Amino acid sequence: MANKIQSIKGFYDVAPRAQKNWRYFESKCLSVFDQYGYEEIGLPIIEATELFEAGVGTHTDIVEKEMYSWTDKLNEDKLTLRPEGTAGCVRAVIQGSLTYNGPIKLFYRGPMFRHENVQKGRQRQFHQLGIESFGLTDPASDAEQIIMLSRLWKSLDLEKKIRLEINSIGDIDDRERYRKELIEYFEKNTEILDEDSKRRLHKNPMRILDSKNPHMQDMLEKAPKLIDSINEDAKKHFNSLCQILKNNQVEFKLNKRLVRGLDYYNRTVFEWITNDLGSQGTVAGGGRYDYLVERLGGKPTPACGFAIGIERIILLLEKTDFENDINSDIYIVNLGNESRDKSFTIAENLRNQNYKVTVNLDSASFKSQMKKADKSNAKFALIIGENELKNNLIQVKLIRKDGSQTEVKEKDILSFIKQNI
């Protein structure tokens, strides 16, 4: 026998059962995003490597060590499997002049790729659903995205499991000044820094604040906080965002240490966190990035966005026992070729009325087909045996109700189903 070939580490199949949860999640997202007027944009999975170097930043974890990059054999192009969606989305907006007629609100979804340590909630191919708005400066646009997410958690019945943390990291000048201040502070505490933090000290000191190392927490708590020294406009922006969240009953915690790992953020940063997934607890994160469009060659355009990690949400959904109903409405049990042909005709007629119909195709015994009908979660089992064929009848069993069986004339089947569903 040939060797069984396995999927590669960190890349997973989504089993049909789990896929149901995905579809449930996506359908909720789509209807909430529609309510707020966000439009979907489709983006490529491969981009020029320089897009991420310039966009995400060369000193971030992603660009330093997590990207799948290669040189194309045919033309030597340097290419990368996208590790995140924002850079590509910004490129598309610039390339297609999508803000030509004014601000635009977009979302995208699909796989992302990062070569990182595989653990629960941390894969090498994972999926994000991301939102980006372009051309809007008002804090109300940051607030709208957060309020929309809060509505999404509610519609998924996850609002009690996910909490919001927000912060402001000011504008470029604030960050530059703070960077110096922070390096000075860490240099005074080098004996407490771990190896990872020492490596980051001069490249990306703000990222050290994210460290989960228990030996460093005390020192990190006492580090100067960026939000305490941001400029007046940024402060106003933040206060106004907080007020709008309060007005709309969105609870949040100010986390002065929250900076996020990517280079492009300014002012608002936020994360939605759960306690149910161990240290992979961030289920969505985002913020404002007013400089990125310009940095990638576009006209200065304010922007704000976030990304949801879909697998982590699916893990949460698996822990709640909700019923999603992508089950058949009707299961047709049939015996013999003639009966199966008739079942097909009836099934097509029912599908014309938008019912979900399964016709048994495995020629199993009557008993075994009835078991399958039951397992399928369908509401009706339609039985077409020899006698029914001969007399143009169908036996209809209400398998989700009292299990009662009714003999229905074939021509009356649609109205019977309609009345009893």
Which residues in this chain contact ligand ATP in the complex, by CB under 6 A?
84, 114, 116, 121-123, 126, 128, 261, 280, 282-285, 307, 309, 311-312
Instruction: Please give the full DSSP string across 296-308, using - where no structure is assigned.
Output: TTS----EEEEEE
Whole-angstrom Cα distance, residue 361 to residue 377?
Answer: 17
Q: Which residue has the tokens 């304010």?
A: 302
Spatial distance between the Cα atoms of 273 and 204, rounded to a whole number of angstroms: 23
Q: How many CB atoms lie within 10 A of CB 66?
A: 18
Give the residue nearest to ligand ATP (CB): 309
In the complex with ligand ATP, the residue whose CB is nearer, 282 or 327, is: 282
Task: Give SS3 for 70.
Answer: strand
In whole angstroms, the minimum distance from the beta carbon of 262 to ligand ATP comes to 6
C-beta closer to ligand ATP: residue 126 or 355: 126
CA distance 296 to 312: 30
Q: Output the smallest distance, CB 119 to ligand ATP, in A.
A: 9
For residue 4, the minimal CB distance to ligand ATP (Å) is 26
Cβ atoms of 205 and 182 within 8 Å: the answer is yes
| Sequence-ordered alpha helix ranges (H) in 248-336 | 292-295, 310-319
Min separation Cβ 27 and ligand ATP, Å: 20
| Whether the Cβ atoms of residue 225 and residue 238 lie closer than 8 Å to each other | no
**Nearest CB to ligand ATP, comparing residues 156 and 350:** 156
Nearest CB to ligand ATP, comparing residues 282 and 395: 282
Q: How far is the CB of 165 from ligand ATP (least distance, A)?
A: 12
- Whole-number minimum distance, CB 46 to ligand ATP, in Å? 18
Is the distance from CB of 387 to CB of 335 less than 8 angstroms? no
Measured from the CB atom, the residue of 105 and 312 that comes closer to ligand ATP is: 312
Tokens linked to 287: 């913020």
Which CB, 62 or 399, lies closer to ligand ATP? Answer: 62
At 387, which helix (H) or strand (E)?
Answer: helix 386-391
Q: Of 9 and 188, which CB lies nearer to ligand ATP in the complex structure?
A: 9
Nearest 5°: phi and psi at 41?
-120, 135
Beta strand 357-359 pairing with 380-384: unpaired
Amino acid sitting at position 277: L
Phi, psi at residue 167, to the nearest 5°? Answer: -160, 165
Q: Of the two residues 94 and 307, which places its CB atom closer to ligand ATP in the complex? A: 307
Cα maximum dimension of the chain? 92
Q: To the nearest whole angstrom, how small is the minimum distance from the Cβ of residue 313 to ligand ATP? A: 8
Q: Which is nearer to ligand ATP, 303 or 359 (CB)?
A: 303
Cα 119 to Cα 102: distance, rounded to the nearest angstrom: 42
Contact 236, 268 (CB under 8 A): no
Per the listing, tokens 């004996």 go with: 191
Task: Provide the minimum distance between the beta carbon of 408 and ligand ATP in the complex, in angstroms, as a whole number.
Answer: 50
Residue 271's closest CA among 174, 376, 145?
Answer: 145
Give 284's contacts (C-beta < 8 A, 6+ positions apart).
149, 271, 272, 306, 307, 308, 309
Nearest distance in Å: CB 21, ligand ATP? 15
∠ CA 400-404-406 to the nearest 5 degrees?
115
Quote the least distance from Cβ 45 to ligand ATP, whole Å: 16
Coil/strand/helix, residue 163: strand
